[in-house]
Amino acid sequence: MKTYNVAVVGATGAVGNEMVKILEERKFPVKSLKLLASERSIGKSLEFMGTDLPVEVLDEKSFKGVEIALFSAGGSVSLKYAPIAASEGCVVIDNTSAFRMEPDVPLVVPEVNPHAIKDYKKRNIIANPNCSTIQMVVALKPLHDYAKIKRIVVSTYQSVSGTGKKAIFELEDQVRALLMNKKVEKKVYPHQIAFNCLPHIDVFLENGYTKEEMKMVNETKKIMEDDTIKVTATTVRVPVFYGHSESVNVEFERKITPEKARSLLRKAPGVKVVDNPSKNLYPLAINAAGKDEVFVGRIRKDDTVEYGLNMWIVADNVRKGAALNAVQIAEILIQKYL
């Protein structure tokens, strides 16, 4: 079997760390693995396949001989280093929003538009979508194919791990401080996140929406390859460590019952239906954490429109929302194209 020289950029971060774990778990054919981060990580190492690998400092020469690089070190790092890696012949799978909406960069969710990967050759870059968008489109694609989506109204309940390691520590520290009657420190978020909900993810734009909300609007259309789908979003950070939850209201062009939606979703790749309210069974962030599937439940009719459904969609944002989706893209890349 052919093996590949792989690099993970941002390997010490929440997503990068998970990428390393998932490469091992899924037995990705790795010839060599290069772990890249900033100077802050000099001296650190991570375990991969039973060996401790040193973390190296990212620089212009990091990508010599690397065939596939998974980037998750922030947009500015990707903007600077992804083109450098690509020019060395390395295929970049980028988890940031830096290139997602560029027309010559494929934006891929393997369960939805795996065929788009073929266009990687234009720039040698493939973009991994936003975490909240990924879990939503995995669940909605089979329903869209059946009844065609007209409009989506989504509100998210996003965990702090989506912001990165520092935010995980911030929630932990604030909870501890509050329970001990101490002063809360805020470094990552503009307000206390412990025991609170912040209707503010990423920066505010001129239209009054946040950038996170507009990512959901624009990325959904690009991944589903359908500009006619109307999307409106409210994205909220909640004091949960792992797992994003979403309340999703969908209006369709054609009839689709909750029963039909459940049966389509039971057959859909990467989806697990958890929908038995009489037994208090519905998707929960704490159950989705550490899992690969997108969980869907609370599927019910929206009687205010002709053909409408409401549902609750939950997934591990660090896995399916980021690291796993990137590794799945890499798997298709090597099976079909490299």
**Under 8 Å between Cβ of 131 and 109:** no
244 is a catalytic site residue: yes
* 112-117, long-range: CB < 8 A, 24+ apart: 112/137, 112/138, 112/141, 112/223, 112/224, 113/223, 113/224, 113/225, 114/332, 116/225, 117/329, 117/332, 117/333, 117/336, 117/337
Distance of closest approach, residue 319 Cβ to ligand A2P, in angstroms: 14
- Pick one of 6, 7, 41, 201: the residue that binds ligand A2P (CB under 6 A): 41
Look at residue 71 and give its three-state secondary structure: strand
How many chain residues touch ligand A2P (CB under 6 A)? 17
Between 44 and 221, CB nearer to ligand A2P: 44
Selected range binding ligand A2P among 36-44, 124-132, 170-178, 196-204, rule: CB under 6 A: 36-44
Q: Please report how close the Cβ of residue 167 comes to ligand A2P at its closest, in angstroms.
A: 8
Q: CB burial class (10 A; 0-12, 13-18, 19+) of residue 2?
A: exposed
Q: Of these residues, 90, 115, 131, 144, which one is catalytic?
A: 131
Q: Is 159 in the site for ligand A2P (CB under 6 A)?
A: no
Nearer to ligand A2P among residue 74 and residue 258 (C-beta): 74
Is 131 assigned a catalytic role? Answer: yes
Taking the complex as a whole, how short is the minimal distance between the CB of residue 215 and ligand A2P, in angstroms? 16
3-state helix, strand and coil shares in percent for the chain, rounded to the nearest 5? 35, 25, 40
Distances (CA, A) of 254 to 220, 259, 312: 20, 15, 21
- Residue from 148, 151, 165, 300 touching ligand A2P (CB under 6 A): that is 165
Nearest CA to 307 among 153, 155, 149?
149
- Tell me which residues in 66-105 interact with ligand A2P (CB under 6 A): 73-74, 77
What's the order of all strands across the beta sheet hosting 244-252?
230-237, 149-158, 244-252, 308-315, 294-301, 271-273
Residue nearest to ligand A2P as judged by C-beta position: 13
Minimum Å distance from CB 9 to ligand A2P? 6
7 binds ligand A2P (CB under 6 A): no
Give the pair of three-digit tokens for residue 160.
Answer: 């702090």
Residue 16 makes contact with ligand A2P by CB under 6 A: yes
Q: Which of 7, 14, 46, 105 binds ligand A2P (CB under 6 A)?
A: 14
Which residues sit at the interface with ligand A2P, rule CB under 6 A?
10-14, 16, 37-38, 40-41, 58, 73-74, 77, 164-166
Residues annotated as catalytic (active site), given as ranges: 131, 244
